[in-house]
Structures are given as C-alpha cells and as structure tokens.
Amino acid sequence: MALRFSGAGVARESPRALALCAAAVSSSSSSKRHGFARVSANSGGQQWRIKGLAVRCHTSSPILNQDAAAASVALARDAEKALTEFTVVMKFGGSSVASAERMREVADLILSFPNETPVVVLSAMGKTTNNLLLAGEKAASCGAPKVCEIPELSVIKELHLRTIDELGLDSSIVSGLLDKLEQLLEAIAMMKELTLRTRDSLVSFGECMSTRIFAAYMNKLGKKARQYDAFDIGFITTDDFTNADILEVTYPTVAKRLNGDWMDDPAIPIVTGFLGKGCKSCAVTTLGRGGSDLTATTIGKSLGLREIQVWKDVDGVLTCDPNIYANAIPVPYLTFDEAAELAYFGAQVLHPQSMRPAREGGIPVRVKNSYNCHAPGTVITKSRDMSKSILTSIVLKSNVTMLDIVSTRMLGQYGFLAKVFSIFEDLGISVDCVATSEVSISLTLDPSKLWSRELIQQIHCCIIMMWQELDHVIEELEKIAVVHLLQKRSIISLIGNVQRSSLILEKVRYPNDIILSRRQTTRLALAQGASFYPCILFATCCLEKMLIIVPKILI
C-alpha cells in the first residue's frame, strides 16, 4: 500500500495521520475509534477527515490483507499514544521564576529536554504571595482612597511589568489582572475586612500572572504553550479557605481536560500551582503555603506520568536545614513516608500533603535544583534499601506550643484520652505530636491548622486570636485535668530507620549525654514512632543551642 497526503497541517501531524489513515482504510471500527469520517471514495483512493484535518489516502490496492490491517491498527495505537501522552510534571517554585532572567533560565531548562512532554506548574514570582497578603491587610486598615499608595501593590506592579518588558512581551498579558487586583483591594478597603474567602481570591493573582507571562514567553521562543488556571481545569477542593483539601473528583476531571486539549491542539500546559475551586462555593481556594507541590503531584497522579519533578533552590532534600547546619548534604533517596514526615515536621522543601497522590499513583518524585540542574537531587519512591540506613535527616521546628495534661484519674481508666481529644475536635484544632505516660499527656499543636485563619502572624490581631483559641482549649481541658501551657518550645525530629532506633539514640546521647544535657536543652518529652521517624524530642533549646546540637548528631 502506498500512502500520500494532502491538506493543510499534514506536516505537523503526519506521523499520526499516516498511522491512523492506514488504520482507517483497513478497519471501519478503527476509523470510528480514532475520530475519522470518510468523506469520499473513488478508484484513486479514499479521503478521510479527523478533527478538521483533511487527509487523502491513495492506495495502490483497494483492500488490505488481515496481517497488514492488524499491523496498521497497532501502528495507529502506538502513534496515538506517543503523541498524546505527557511524560513528566515540572514544578518550579517562586524563587525559580522570580525575575525575567530566572524565567529565561527555566525556559531553557525545559527546552533542554526535547524528548519530554511536560506539564509545567508554577508558583507566584518571588515574594509576590507575601506582598499580596500584606497589601490586603493594609487595604483593610487604610481605607479606599489610599489603596494606590500601598507599597506592596506598587512592588507587585513594578515586578510583573518589568519582567514583561525585559522578556519582550506585551503588557496586556497582565494589565487586566493588575486592574482587577487593584479593584479587589479597593473593595477590601471599603469593607474594612479581609475574609478568608477574599484572602484566597487575593493571593491567586500571583500564580495567575506568573503562568501567563511564562506561557507567553514560551510561545515567543517557538514552543507552543497554553496557560491554565487550576481552578478552571478541575481542581475541586473543600471549602476550607486558605487550607483546602483536594477531592477525588479532581483526578479524572483534570486528566480529561488536559488530554482533550492536547488531542485538539497540542501545547505544553502551564498550570497555576496552589489554587483550586471550592466544591460548594465555587470560589477560588488555596491549598496552604507550598501547595504548588500538591498541585504537581495531583497532576502526576491524574495523568499517570512517569515522574514528578519538583525544582527548588536547593540540591534536593538535605540532611538538615542549611541555615542551621551549613555542611548539610543532599539525601540521594527517600521513601514517600520519610518525605511526608520530613515535610510535616518542618522541612521547607516539600508540602506536607504532596506525597499522598504520588504514593497512591506509584510515581517517583525527583527534587532538583533549578539553579544547579546538573546536581542529581533526591529521588523519592515507595521503598528503598534501609539495611544500612541509620539517620536520614534532622528537622527542626521552632516556636511550638506544648500542652502538658496531668490527671491521676487517667491511671487505669478507659476513655480519658477520648475525652481529651474530643475537646480538640469540638474546637477544630489539630494536634501535632503526642507523648503519653501513666498519668500525663504531652502534645504539641499544629500551628498551620490552629492559626490557619491568619497567615501573617506578625499582625497584632492575629496574635490576639491565637491567645483566644488557647484560652478556650485550656478552659475546657481544666475541667478534667491540670494543664500546663508551655510556649516557644522546639521540636527536634530525627528521621531514620525505626528498626535501628537504638543506634540513633546513641548518637543523640553521645558523648555522656552532652547533647541532651540540661546545660543545652531540657527534655520535656520523647516520642518514638512506628514509621520512619523513630524519635521526636520536645525541647526548650533556642536556635543558638540547636546550632550546637545538630552537628554533634550528624557527625
């Protein structure tokens, strides 16, 4: 059989058209499955049309034998799969796209992988999210006439317009969004109130602008790209504004939209991280700080991709925060459980919930450095060889609030713990870590859940709300026990192999208990988990003392 094509656009889709044309000629069922419609047939061949593309197939023989027909159908399937299958998610954080120069470098990085068909997820540029929040707080307190004088609004406008100018793009890309942003701030100023719902709408402008700029720049470079707002492509969440959870309906909805658009008009998706749409309110929601990681892993699971790449400003997941210990090194391999524990207990590299979709989809997550793309980074998978692993990483969480609940009624009684935790449930407060003895319970409170209503904790009104919440907790708990409130504590989390926890504790107590001696830290509680974080130490040590402790553990 000889095939020859005619019609506009054949050059772009010729491999797919070639295979599908062969399948269409050989099998009417195949032609229907792949969207072909036969529009004419004569002695010279048959003409088929798919999605607006006319393809004329000239055959030297009118009928194919069964072997040729089967081969052509298989070829059609392979070609279809190759041209519609995304391969990886590439997520870039705010520092990676903080300027025009950084956007150029990220674009070059993406284009340096010609064999990949990525879905790109972006955060807001630099400190834009922080500036949006500060602008909202100031608008609520300054009044409408002074909105244009808010310094953070000027910084946001200047950054995005300068970036567009340096990339040689048209300012109309974001001018409409900047106008809407100013209008929203004026509305906040008139109401003198910044609700959680409005706060989420406000911070969404950061991702919406960064993705539009980057998509336009990719198109300018000749790489066809299409911008998407996550809340418009199927990211359905709970209505917990500022800290929403993604619902299961998101996965098939996102897959249908992205795959469908690619089939109709192939282009690299540039998706906003961090954002969603409330299932009942249909309003913009956010996934919590660092939620772009969760956006990336959700897309990875939705599309069943080979790998999820999270590009940061560090060489992977480190053994410790480099601000605490300058000699921290990248951890080459982690399990999903280890990564989740690291994120939950304070590691800033990943979003605490981001591992769940990747684990469920069985998709590896690779953490790499956009400033140093040749660094191997950290690969996170379902399992790894733990036989020689002792201590993987140390995570430090400071400024933690701890409650020590003591009651002799707890001894030998049932239901006491249930009563304690029912109080937290009734007040809607999340408990972080727990350690128990015969007559006491020591626990810490998760700040991200306890105070999610206020993301800018330095604002005075936020501090007042914190104390009010704690007052309610203590008031209820004191009905059943004696409660001690301990503040400004720190959690030292040791992530490692639970089966070798005795060796980890030897490191902690080495030498002569100097690391945990009372000269440096008071051990208020010690908890050992059953997963991959064998011990968690609640301590009173300040940052300066941590600088002494950590090197001795890692040596």
Residues forming beta bridges with residue 526, ordered by sequence position: 537
- Is pLDDT at 431 greater than 90 in this prediction? no
Q: Which of 29-38, 85-94, 143-152, 257-266 has the lowest mean pLDDT?
A: 29-38
User: 371 vs 108, 129, 322, 550, CA distance in Å?
Assistant: 12, 21, 16, 27
Least confidently predicted of 379-393, 480-494, 536-550: 536-550
**Which pLDDT belongs to residue 80?**
47
* 19 pLDDT more than 80: no
Report the b/e string of 65-83 with b at 16+ CB within 10 A: eeeebeebbebbbebbeee
**Segment holding 310, helix H or strand E:** strand 307-312
Q: Please, what is the average pLDDT of the chain?
A: 76
Identify the structural domains of the chain with CATH numbers, from first to last: 10-84 (no CATH), 88-384 (3.40.1160.10), 392-554 (3.30.2130.10)
What would the pLDDT profile of 4-17 be if each residue is shown by its tens digit? 444 444 433 444 44
**Pick from 345, 344, 527, 532: which is nearest to 441 by CA?**
527
Tell me which of 96-100, 182-186, 431-435, 533-537 is least confident: 533-537
Q: At what angle do helices 416-427 and 460-477 cross, to 10 degrees?
A: 150
Higher pLDDT, 168 or 17: 168
> What digits encode the pLDDT tens for the residues 257-286?
999 999 999 999 999 999 999 999 999 999
pLDDT classification of 141: cutoffs 50, 70, 90: confident
Assess contact for 209 and 174: CB atoms under 8 A.
Answer: yes
Q: How confident is the model at residue 338 (pLDDT cuts 50, 70, 90)?
A: confident
Judged against a pLDDT cut of 90, whether residue 175 lies above it is answered with yes
Residue 145 pLDDT exceeds 90? no
The band of 547, judged by pLDDT with boundaries at 50, 70 and 90, is low
Per-residue model confidence (pLDDT) at position 477: 66
Side chain identity, residue 205: F
Dihedral angle over CA of 162, 166, 172, 173, nearest 10: -100
Nearby residues of 197 by Cβ (< 8 Å), 6 or more positions away: 241, 281, 283
Confidence grade of residue 434 (pLDDT, cut at 50, 70, 90): confident
pLDDT greater than 80 at residue 484: no
Highest mean pLDDT among 292-306, 380-394, 419-433: 292-306
Q: Give the Å distances, CA to CA, from 263 to 34, 142, 189, 421.
A: 11, 50, 45, 51
- Whether residue 400 is predicted with pLDDT greater than 50 in this model: the reply is yes
Mean pLDDT of 175-198: 94
What confidence tier does 436 reach under pLDDT thresholds 50, 70, 90? confident
Task: Name the range with the highest mean pLDDT among 40-54, 107-121, 365-379.
Answer: 107-121
Residue 364 has pLDDT above 70, yes or no: yes
Listing DSSP states for 396-463 in one string gives EEEEEEEEEEE-GGGTT-SSHHHHHHHHHHHHT--EEEEEE-SSEEEEEE-HHHHTTT-S-TTSHHHH
* Residues paired with residue 38 on neighbouring β-strands, in sequence order: 48
Q: What is the pTM of this model?
A: 0.71
Residue 427 has pLDDT above 60, yes or no: yes
Of 142, 157, 295, the closest CA to residue 231 belongs to 295
Q: What is the pLDDT of residue 63?
A: 43
